[in-house]
Amino acid sequence: MSHTAHIPSHRKPRPQRASKLRAGVAGGVLSTLAVAGTAGSAHAAEPVTETIEMPTLTTELATKVAASADATQQAADSYKLLAEQDEAASKAAKEAKEAKAKAVAKAKAKKKAAERAAEERAARAAERTTLSASADSGSAADSVAPASGSMGAVISFLQAQVGDAYVMGASGPDSWDCSSLVQAAFKQAGVDLPRVSQDQSMVGTEVGTGNLQVGDILYWGGKGSAYHVGVYIGNGQYLDAANPSKGVVIQDLSGYPADGAVRVL
């Protein structure tokens, strides 16, 4: 045994406060490091963004922007108006051109119609001259003039209608159908005939087509069912309102022989 073992130590025990202080300091450092580490990790995980502050739109700048927009709208409206005016002018020019073309065509048609009318009048005059010559030069066999000249009135009336139009159902004065012309002609001599060709084929005295006289009424079809009539004018010719394409004309009987004839004067 040591000879000093029985001697109590004179060292003072180390205060526990210093130990606690050191422990607190160490804990604080560790906590700070932990917080710093955590903050560093959070900053590392989040992307870095930069915010740029836009300049404030001042009243003066807003006014300039509005004025520029108004000017742009006015320019657009002006271009649109010009386009509409150009379109209207083009349309008016086109319509004027079409109207002029129509006027020229109408004038040409009118001139042509006048020329055609003159030709028809000349042809009508020539036919009437031919009809008069035929009636004057007819033989005694086919030119029997009734007393009081009534047949002359019939022939004169028929001559005056040559060249008139044929219209079904018409009764003059410028257009006729076959039976209305015959009826009107004999009325000049005081003879009242029925209106339609079927009934006209039944009046007067039946005569053969080989023994015709001027003024005999010719009919085509059966007696009582005739579909056409005309008047014999001598020299193998007759006068009738033929059809819409011919109108009132003089024709040769040989080209369209009648089926029968009746004599009323």
Which DSSP letter does residue 171 get? Answer: B
Asked if the structure places residue 145 within a domain, the reply is yes
Helix axis angle, 178-187 to 150-161, nearest 10°: 140
pLDDT tens digits, one per residue of 35-79: 445 544 444 445 555 555 555 557 777 787 777 888 888 888 888
Tell whether 112 is covered by a domain. yes
Q: pLDDT under 50 in the chain at which residues? A: 1-2, 4-5, 18, 21, 23, 25-26, 29-36, 39-45, 128, 131-132, 134-148
Strands 228-234 and 217-220: antiparallel
Phi, psi of 249 (to 5 degrees): -140, 170
The C-alpha atoms of residue 261 and residue 36 are separated, in whole angstroms, by 142
Q: Report which of 159, 179, 160, 158 is spatially closest to residue 168, judged by C-alpha positions.
A: 179
* 252 within domain boundaries: yes
Residue 91 in any domain: the answer is yes
Q: Is residue 213 domain-resident?
A: yes
Q: Are 190 and 251 in contact (CB under 8 A)?
A: no
Question: Which pLDDT score, from 0 to 100, does residue 141 have?
Answer: 35
For the chain, what is the domain count? 1
> Containing domain of residue 206, as a range?
77-265
The predicted pLDDT at position 113 comes to 61
Q: What's the rounded Cα separation, in Å, for the pair 128 and 123?
A: 9
Q: Is residue 261 a part of any domain in this protein? A: yes
Q: Alpha-carbon distance 207 to 226, whole Å?
A: 15
201 located within any domain: yes
Query: What backbone torsions phi and psi does residue 74 show, to the nearest 5 degrees?
Result: -65, -40
pLDDT for res 138: 43
The CATH number assigned to the domain holding 206 equals 3.90.1720.10
Beta-sheet pairing, 217-220 with 260-263: antiparallel
CA 238 to chain centre: 47
Read off φ and ψ for residue 233, nearest 5 degrees: -120, 5
Q: Looking at the domain assignment, is residue 15 inside a domain?
A: no
Distance, in Å, from the CA atom of 86 to the CA atom of 171, rounded to the nearest integer, reads 58
Contact in structure between 166 and 242 (CB atoms under 8 Å): yes
HSE toward the beta carbon, residue 107, CA cutoff 13 A = 6
Measure the CA–CA gap between 264 and 203, rounded to whole angstroms: 7
Integer Cα distance of 234 and 232 in angstroms: 6
Alpha-helix runs per DSSP H in 9-58: 16-45
Q: Is the CB of residue 239 less than 8 Å from the CB of residue 131?
A: yes
Q: What's the pLDDT score for residue 67?
A: 79
Torsion of CA 66, 68, 70, 72, to 10 degrees: -150
Task: For the beta carbon of residue 203, count every other beta carbon within 10 angstroms.
Answer: 16
- Please provide the distance, in angstroms rounded to a whole number, between the alpha carbons at the two ends of the chain: 201
